[in-house]
Structures are given as structure tokens and as C-alpha cells.
Chain A
């Protein structure tokens, strides 16, 4: 911990990591709250895994076609939006079982990503770091992209707060009040997709679903209002990410996994205290 604080002043990559953690926390808290209350966690999981297709395809084009400007994270943004729209449109308009579609997008996205990575010449270890996350690898370019995503997600969720709340709580009533429910549901899924891309840089594809839900689950114990849950979730996300980073730095542990274990641990403690209270009445 002392190492971390000392090195934080010296190393730029550590400062970038801290900024990334803070920037990712806000959309994570806001969108995570919608995802948990609307009960679409598994859509978040599917989008996260399909992101690998975008990462892999972008890297493939970078190397094979020599397109250096096509950063893997751009590929991730596109892949996440495409899979969000596929899941959204299918669940709204096609008479398919929604969970089957979610599972298909989840697995196909991953498979496509692995195929691209296997066909890309050279050493692609940094792509594997997107699987389990490595917040220490964030570059200044990444940081601008992350900041841009941050602004988009926060802006949209503030502008449409009322409508998103109404659509999540009572879709039918919102429709009767003239709200274009389908549009806002798709908007919510797209915002979820962008948030997922942000979180991929922090904890990686595999653990996004945990960072999207666990802080909200903890915050829910202290809040009965949607906006308060969002604020508290963002605070908890920042706490988990930064302490995960700080604690993993000294012993050289994977930071993403440390973050998730901290989040999961606090969630279990809060849930246990709650269960104990209920039993005692």
C-alpha cells in the first residue's frame, strides 16, 4: 500500500489507472442501477463477452491490413452496440426466447473474437489482458476514449432519467403516457453497451458483469431511491476499483480479480448482516 502511494507520484501509468477507475465508476453506478433494477444483468454479460469479437477484429485489421488507427477499443464499441441492438430488437419484435438469444450472442461474440485473434500474426498478449482486465495498461489515447464514453453515458442518463425510470418501473404505464418505450429500452441497452466497454478496460470481459451488479447490490441496502442508488453505486465502484488497484500493486496480483473479490466480499457481508437482521426481526 505504501509502495503504491509512493509510486503513484512517480509513474504516469499508475495515475492513468487511477483516473480510469474514477471515470469508469460513474457510468458503472448509473447504468448498473438500471441494469439491476430492470433485471437485465445477463444482457450485460452477453454484451461484455461479445466485445471480444470487436477487439479481435480491430486488431486483425490493424496488423493484416495495416490500419494503425483502428484501436481495438473502437472495435469493442462497435461490437458492443451491435450486440445490444441485436438482443434488444429480437426481444422486442421477434418471437424468440430472449434468454436463448442472449446466450447465442454471448457465445458467438466470444468465438468470433477467438478466431480473429488466432488468425492475427504476432504477439497478442494485450488482447488477452482484455479478458481479465489490466487497468495498468491504459494509455493516454485510451483515456480520451474512456472520457468520451463517460460524457455520452452521463449526458444521456441525466437527460432521459425520468423516462428511463418510468420504462424500467412500469413499461405499460409509460406507454400510455406517450413514452416511446421501445426506443428508450434500446437506448438503455446501448448505454449499457458503452458502459461495458469502459469496464472491460478495468476488470476485463469475464468480470464486467460483477462490477456492473455488485456495487448496486451493496448500494441497494442503503437506498430506497433510484438516484441515490446510482450515486452510492458509483461511490462503491470507485472504492472497489481503487482499493483493488492499491492492494494488488504491492504483491503484484491481478488488479481486476482483486477488485471483484473485494466487491463480492463486501456484498456477502452486507447480505449476511441483512439476513441476520431479518431473522432477528
Chain B
């Protein structure tokens, strides 16, 4: 049996003695589309950073593709939050996407032809190629998001991690983003963090609720014009009343 994409066992983490995550167990299998929800300061981003190896757990183990997070990084694509950028920084769209190619090749000097091709392909996938030479600072919120997603895809990852990809964008762009992610989900495992507590996109297969402790929930479809109007797309309600096993529900046709 192959290693799961992500496996956290008895993981605890605290900032300056303040517990953020306690006894967290989580298994994400290949092909899953996981949404991590929870209140602010509940530990969502910490969970993501533990999986990326940016933070080390105080207790427990984190394995990605059966490896330590630092070793698994070449297979991980990461889309960070939009709010952390210095928009005076002089970079073009292509410059930003090329950063996704760091760690390929010798790393000395400038990017090679293979890097440029991969970056171009990632931009085409996001329909952003015509804007490749545009300054990153002059893009709209939705365009920036596509560029950051292209950057995450430029390394051709097997696991895509996204931190609050839907923050600061309107519902139409959010729907569009989930269409893209659903398409990508055919080839890669996806895990995203979102601030929305109650509703998640219909493409999400399992929901992880984090508030210091962790619970895996199923999603159940709901319909109704009110919700459709509110969120501008089809959504599912998370059943917080129901608790699944760590592995979530078997949604695969096996």
C-alpha cells in the first residue's frame, strides 16, 4: 500500500507556551480535495505550515509522501496568502511565476529554457500568458490569484496547498477558482485553508475542522436559491454534527 499523501500522527504545536494544535491526527489520501476550515487563530495556517515544514511539531510526526516535509517539498506546490506582498516590489508576472521553478537544476545564474517553458505553461493554464510581462503590482485581485496559483503549479507538484485562496476576492472569482481547482484535482491532491466556516465549494470532497483540535467531516449537498444567491454558486453545507474517522469518508469508487 502506498504512503498516504499527508499523515500527521499525534501532532501538537504551541507558540510561546500557548497551545495551538493538540493531538492532531490526519490522513489525506492521493486524489483527495480537502478544505481546512475553522475560526481565526484556530490553527489552520499552523497546520499548513507544519505540512510544509516551515514549523516543526513539538510532539508527533508529520510525513508527506512518506518523507519529512523538507524532503517532500519538491513535490509540493504552495500558494501563499495575497496580503503578505510588498506591491512596490519591481517584478513582472513572469518573474513571480518563475520563482516556482527554484530548486530545479543547479540554481546558479538565471533561469533556463526548461524553466521558462514550465512557467509559460503554468501561465497558459491560468489564461494569464498575455499578461506575462505586466508588473505584478498592476494586476487586479483575481489576476494576482491566478498568477500565484500559476507559480504554485510551475514546479508540477503532486500536492497543492493553498492558504486562504478566497480571501479578498468576490464570489464570482471564487467560483472560477474552484472550477480550476476541480480540474487540477484530477492530477493532484489538493488541500486548502479557508475562513468560511459553514459553506464550502461543491468540489470539496472532505472537510477538516481545526480549532486547536481537529475533526474530519463529510460534506452533504444542499440546494436552495437563497444560498445560491448568497454565495453565487453551488455550495455544500458542512455537517459539524457528524464525526467521521480520521480518513474521512470513502468517496472513491473502489
Between A and B, how many residue pairs show CB distances below 8 Å?
83
**A195 touches B (CB below 8 Å):** no
Of the candidates B85, B91, B100, B109, the one whose C-beta lies within 8 Å of that of A177 is: B100
Q: State whether the Cβ of A160 lies closer than 8 Å to any Cβ in chain B.
A: yes
CB within 8 A of A158: which of B76, B84, B91, B109?
A: B109
Instruction: List the B side residues contacting A175 at CB < 8 Å.
Output: 54
Give the contacting residue for A37; candidates B54, B90, B107, B109; CB below 8 A. Answer: B90
Binds B, one of A123-131, A165-173, A201-209: A165-173
* Contact partner, A168, options B74, B89, B98, B151, Cβ 8 Å: B89
CB-CB contacts below 8 Å: A163-186 with B: 163, 165-166, 168-170, 172-179
Residues of A within 8 A of B222 (CB): none
- B230 in contact (CB, < 8 A): no
Interface residue ranges of A191-248 to B (CB < 8 Å):
220, 223-226, 228-229
CB contact under 8 A between A223 and B90, given known A161-B110, A176-B54:
yes
Complex interface residues of chain A between 63 and 111 (CB less than 8 A to chain B): none
In A110-124, the 8 Å CB interface with B consists of none
Contacting residues, chain A, for B155 (C-beta < 8 A): 177
Point out the residues of chain B lying under 8 angstroms from A6, CB to CB: none
| B 70-97 contacts with A by CB, 8 A | 70, 73-74, 76, 78, 80, 84-86, 88-92, 95-96
Report whether B90 and A177 are in contact in the complex, using a CB–CB cutoff of 8 Å: no
Contact between B102 and A166, CB atoms less than 8 A apart:
yes
Contact B108 A177 (CB under 8 A): no
Category for how many chain B residues contact A: 20 to 34
Q: Which of A169, A173, A178, A220 contacts B74 (CB 8 A)?
A: A178
Q: What string of 1s and 0s marks CB contacts (under 8 Å) between B39-65 and chain A?
A: 000000000000010100000000000
Q: Which residues in A have their C-beta under 8 angstroms from that of B88?
A: 37, 220
Interface of A is mostly: helix
Query: B237 an interface residue at 8 Å Cβ cutoff?
Result: no
Q: A178-B73, A224-B92, A225-B91 are in contact. Are A169 and B99 (CB under 8 A)?
A: yes
Find chain A residues with CB under 8 A from B130 CB.
none
**In-complex Cβ contact of A162 among B74, B111, B135, B151 (8 A):** B111
Contact call A162/B102, Cβ cutoff below 8 A: yes
* A225:B102 contact, CB within 8 angstroms: no
Interchain nearest-CB distance for A277 vs B (Å): 16
Q: Does B224 contact A (CB under 8 A)?
A: no
Residues on A with C-beta less than 8 A from B52 are 176
Is the C-beta of A159 less than 8 angstroms from some C-beta in chain B?
yes
Query: How many Å from the CB of A29 to the closest CB on chain B?
Result: 13
Q: A160-B108, A166-B99 are in contact. Are A173 and B151 (CB under 8 A)?
A: yes
Does B103 interact with chain A (Cβ within 8 Å)? yes
- Shortest CB distance A165–B (Å): 7
With a CB–CB cut-off of 8 A, which chain A residues contact B78? 173, 176
Q: A-side interface residues toward B, CB under 8 Å?
A: 37, 39, 158-163, 165-166, 168-170, 172-179, 220, 223-226, 228-229
Enumerate 16 A-B pairs (CB-CB under 8 Å) in ascending A order. Answer: A159-B108, A162-B98, A165-B95, A170-B80, A173-B78, A174-B102, A177-B73, A177-B99, A177-B102, A177-B103, A179-B102, A224-B92, A225-B91, A225-B95, A226-B91, A228-B90
Q: Which 3 A-B pairs have the closest CB atoms?
A: A224-B135, A178-B103, A177-B102
